[in-house]
Amino acid sequence: MITHELEHILGLTNPGKALQSNQQDAEHPKHCIEKTCLMYWSSEIGEGIGNMVSGGSAPQLDAQCIADLQVNGGK
């Protein structure tokens, strides 16, 4: 998903800046451990798109990732 990749460019998850909480997935570095978060590793391989097609909604950033953006100047 393009939004997932854009969030990496904006500084998520653990691009070298301090995380506000321990949400980095040890098995999938630079991705969030929260399965419903846009930054969860499987959202970049199309699982998030499959959820939208099946009547679900696109993944959103969780509170931990939003906090990381805010501490680095996001609003």
* 48-73 confidence digits (pLDDT tens): 555 545 556 778 999 998 988 888 77
Nearest-angstrom CA–CA distance, 75 and 64: 14
pLDDT at position 5 over 80:
yes
User: 10-32 pLDDT, tens per residue?
Assistant: 878 776 666 777 888 889 988 99
Contact 7, 65 (CB under 8 A): yes
pLDDT at position 19: 74
Please report, for the chain, the start and end positions of each structural domain, with discontinuous segments joined by +.
2-71
Q: Identify which has the larger pLDDT, 6 or 47.
A: 6
Q: Is the pLDDT confidence value at 45 over 70?
A: no
* Pair 44, 5: CB distance under 8 Å: yes
Tokens 């321990």 identify what position?
A: 22
